[in-house]
Amino acid sequence: MNPEKVVFGFFIVLALTLNFGFFVGELDNPDHHNGWELFAVVVVNLIATVLKFGDRTQIGAVLLSTSLVAMLQLIAAVLVWVFAVHVTGGGLTPRTTASIVSLTGGAMIANVISVVLLVVETFMLRR
C-alpha cells in the first residue's frame, strides 16, 4: 500500500463529503449552512488541490482542473458570504444564502468528478 496514494485519496473524498455536508439543507435557510463548515471545505479543497500538482499524467491534469474549478466556486461562495455579512451589513438573507449554497453545489459536482476519476484510475491500474 502506498501511503502517498492513501493521503491523496483521503483528501479528495474528504473534500467531497465536507462539501456535501455544507450543501445539504434548505437552500435559502442560513441556519442549515454553517460558516465554519464552509471554511473547512475551502481548506480541505485547497489541500487536495496542492496534492494534485505533482501528477504529470493526463488524468492528473483533469483531476487538477476539477480541483481548480471547485476552489474557484468555493472562493466565490466565501466572497459572497463575506460581502453579505461584513461589507453590506445586510446579513445572510435567503437570497444570499441560496447563492452561496448554489456555488458550493457547483464545487460539489467538481468534487464528484474528482472522486469518479480517482476510482476509474484505480480500476485502470488493476488491469
- Residue 48 to residues 7, 9, 25, 84, 96: CA-CA distances in angstroms? 9, 9, 25, 28, 27
pLDDT at 125: 78
Domain range for 14 is 3-126
Looking at the chain, the whole-number percentage of residues with pLDDT higher than 90 is 78
User: What's the structural domain count of the chain?
Assistant: 1
Asked whether the whole model's pTM tops 0.85, one would answer yes
- How high is the mean pLDDT of the chain? 92
Looking at the chain, the whole-number percentage of residues with pLDDT higher than 70 is 98
- The torsion of the CA quartet 2, 124, 55, 104, rounded to 10 degrees, works out to -100
Mean pLDDT of 33-52: 95
Range list of H helices, the chain:
3-23, 35-51, 58-82, 94-126
pLDDT at 126 over 90: no
